[in-house]
Amino acid sequence: MLELKNITFKVDNLDGKGEITILDNVSFKIEQGKILIITGPNGGGKSTLAKIIMGIEKPTSGQILFDGKDVTNLSITERARLGIGYAFQQPPRFKGVTVKKLLNLASGNKLNDTACCEYLTNVGLCSKEYLKRDVDASLSGGELKRIEIASLMARNPKLAIYDEPEAGIDLWSFSMLVDSFQKFKENKDQTVVIISHQEKIIDLADELMIIADGKVQNKGTKEEIMPMIQGKSTSCGCPIKEVVLTNER
Ligand SMILES: Nc1ncnc2c1ncn2[C@@H]1O[C@H](COP(=O)(O)OP(=O)(O)OP(=O)(O)O)[C@@H](O)[C@H]1O
């Protein structure tokens, strides 16, 4: 359903001399209904890759196919219409838009309070009071993050990309979130990409991919990849094992 072919992303060096390669010849496929977990060291290129799939960044070279269609030159809006959705690592705030309005806009339907609360419950927010709140600076970072995730769940795109859904989320909400992702796994009607450093989320993977130094280092089942990561080092000498496993809750 999604295929990336030889994606390279370069940016100009700040001193104006030459370019930095952020992603280097990245190729992989995801099959319909699968959960792909992307992990790897900080700064490896995971979020950039997600933004390239969503159309927020344009690759320097390479091709992106979605359901067999070349979407490389399509805008974010066009990709969203085709069924690609993205929950940011650091979500934006929308002053003047209530949580209920955001969920309605995301789902494309008029949702009643009960339906809205179900989406919020998936991420550990169950109070009806939240529905009237503006998605602005009055929300805590963890609340905003969970509302962003709930709105992507309400949108229910064919391909949902979650960028570090665990970031800033408390233990109780995290546990509910993992249960919600578990339901995606059981239903198999949505293809899901999750960028995560969390072992409990990595456990959900149909496939696990390691991105480091802008390259796909490994991709396969969790059973194939996890033993390979154990004890391996990145180019800077930091054990990948620590990056993947130290956030265990
Ligand atoms: N527009 C840009 N200009 C310069 N450097 C950039 C740009 N975009 C990304 N980078 C750099 O590219 C590298 C990859 O960034 P990215 O956010 O994709 O990493 P990541 O794997 O998601 O990291 P983390 O696990 O910390 O979220 C980082 O070193 C980042 O600073």
pLDDT value of residue 211: 95
Taking the centre of ligand 1 as the mean of its atom positions, its distance from the CA of residue 210, in whole angstroms, is 15
Taking the centre of ligand 1 as the mean of its atom positions, its distance from the CA of residue 195, in whole angstroms, is 13
pLDDT value of residue 231: 56
Q: Pick from 7, 14, 19, 47 the residue to mutate for probing ligand 1's pocket: most ligand atoms within 8 Å of its CB.
A: 47
| β-pair type (84-87, 159-163) | parallel
SS3 (DSSP) at 144:
helix
| β-pair type (191-195, 159-163) | parallel
Cβ-contact 118, 88 below 8 angstroms = no
| β-pair type (84-87, 35-39) | unpaired
Would residue 114 be called left, alpha or beta, if left means φ above 0 and alpha means ψ between -120 and 50 degrees? alpha
**Ligand 1 within 6 A of CB of 214:** no
Residue whose entry in the numeric block shows the structure tokens 């004890």? 231
For the CA of 49, the closest atom of ligand 1 is 18
pLDDT value of residue 55: 93
For the CA of 50, the closest atom of ligand 1 is 18
Three-class SS of 10-73: EEECCCCCCEEEEEEEEEEEECCCCEEEEECCCCCCHHHHHHHHHCCCCCCEEEEEECCEECCC
Which of 24-28, 93-97, 239-243 is predicted with the least confidence, judged by mean pLDDT?
Answer: 239-243
pLDDT mean over 94-105: 86
Tokens of 244: 């993947």
What's the pLDDT band for 223 if we cut at 50, 70, 90? confident
What's the pLDDT band for 36 if we cut at 50, 70, 90? very high
Taking the centre of ligand 1 as the mean of its atom positions, its distance from the CA of residue 49, in whole angstroms, is 9
Query: How distant, in Å, are the alpha carbons of 35, 41, 212, 223 from that of 209?
Result: 11, 12, 10, 12
| Mean predicted lDDT score pLDDT of the chain | 86
**Ligand 1 within 6 A of CB of 191:** no
SS3 (DSSP) at 97:
strand
**Ligand 1 within 6 A of CB of 13:** no
Tokens of 13: 């060096």
CA atoms within 13 A on the CB side of 35: 23
**Ligand 1 within 6 A of CB of 12:** no
> Where residue 36 sits, what CATH number does that domain have?
3.40.50.300
pLDDT mean over 99-127: 86
Name the residue with the closest Cα to ligand 1, atom 10: 22
Q: Which tens digits make up the pLDDT trace of 123-154?
A: 888 777 888 888 888 888 888 888 889 999 89
Name the residue with the closest Cα to ligand 1, atom 3: 11
Which domain, by its residues, includes 131?
Answer: 2-245
Distance of alpha carbon 81 from alpha carbon 79, whole angstroms: 5
pLDDT value of residue 185: 79
Total count of domains within the chain: 1
pLDDT value of residue 94: 75
Taking the centre of ligand 1 as the mean of its atom positions, its distance from the CA of residue 127, in whole angstroms, is 36
Cβ-contact 190, 158 below 8 angstroms = yes
Task: Tell me whether 0.85 is exceeded by the ipTM.
Answer: yes
